[in-house]
Amino acid sequence: MKNEIIALIPMIRRFAYSLTGNHHDADDLLQNTIERILTKGVPEDVELTKWMFRVCRNLWIDEYRSRQVRQAATQSPELHEQAVQGEQEQTQKLRVREVNQAMSVLPTDQRSILSLVAIQGMSYKEVSETLSIPIGTVMSRLARARSSLSQCLPFQGVES
Helix, strand, or coil (residue 46): coil
Instruction: Quote the Cα angle for 10-16-17, to 5°.
Output: 90
Q: Which CATH class is domain 2-76+86-152?
A: mainly alpha
List Cβ neighbours of 129 (8 Å cut-off, separation of 6 or more). 50
Residues 6+ apart with CB under 8 A from 108: 19, 60, 61, 64
The pLDDT profile of the chain, 160 residues, written as one tens digit per residue, is 888 889 999 999 999 999 888 899 999 999 999 999 999 988 888 889 999 999 999 998 888 777 655 455 455 555 444 443 456 676 777 777 777 777 778 888 888 888 888 888 889 999 999 889 999 999 999 999 888 888 877 655 444 3
